[in-house]
């Protein structure tokens, strides 16, 4: 069994969550299993290194609130990068950049601390899932506002039938493709 098939087999599947008609894929069973979690991190690091070799190694891993916080710091540490969180509005101290975005269930806003990303820094955005692409697109806008360059958007699960990846300003990768 491949790493991806193994990890996919561990996902929790929750029909009609968070509302009727939506099937939620839960990554937490992977995080509860140390071997599975190590397999996930190793797979993502290998992908990031090989897929971005020509553009230069990333300098910043940008993790999206909240599940990107579970993956981002570990990946950043292993790659020798900075980790920068993108948070929901009102959660970060000090001066921040703000972007509003549409998500599946309404409108929200993301923030990044001013100065967290320096001019020209190469960034990878990481989160657990891409659906409509609103939050990932907002993160890309924050990186741009900060003077950084997004190399790639990396996800565990992708819902390509929602076409969220088409909103992004750089290539995207997801390990596991969910069915519609």
Q: Are 169 and 140 in contact (CB under 8 A)?
A: yes
Start-to-end CA span in the chain (Å)? 24
Known catalytic residues are 67, 104
Please, which residues bridge with residue 22 across strands? none
* Contacts of residue 8, Cβ cutoff 8 Å, sequence gap at least 6: 176
The token pair that represents 120 in the structure block: 């020209």
Burial of 107 (0-12, 13-18, 19+ CB in 10 A): exposed
Q: How far apart are CA 145 and CA 38, in angstroms?
A: 33
Q: What is the CA radius of gyration of the chain?
A: 16
């Amino acid at each position: 069994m491949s790493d991806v098939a193994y990890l996919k087999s561990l996902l929790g599947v929750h029909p009609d969550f968070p509302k009727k008609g939506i099937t939620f894929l839960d990554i937490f069973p992977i995080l509860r299993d140390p071997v599975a979690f190590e397999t996930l991190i190793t797979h993502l690091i290998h992908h990031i290194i090989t897929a971005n070799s020509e553009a230069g190694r990333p300098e910043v891993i940008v993790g999206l609130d909240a599940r990107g916080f579970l993956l981002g710091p570990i990946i950043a540490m292993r790659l020798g990068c900075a980790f920068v969180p993108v948070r929901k509005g009102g959660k970060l101290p000090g001066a921040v950049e703000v972007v509003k975005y549409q998500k599946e269930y309404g409108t929200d806003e993301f923030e990044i601390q001013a100065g967290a990303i320096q001019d020209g820094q190469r960034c990878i955005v990481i989160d657990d899932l891409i659906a409509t692409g609103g939050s990932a697109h907002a993160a890309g806008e924050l990186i741009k506002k900060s003077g950084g360059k997004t190399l790639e958007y990396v996800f565990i699960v992708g819902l390509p039938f929602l076409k969220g990846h088409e909103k992004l300003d750089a290539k995207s990768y997801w390990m596991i493709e969910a069915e519609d």
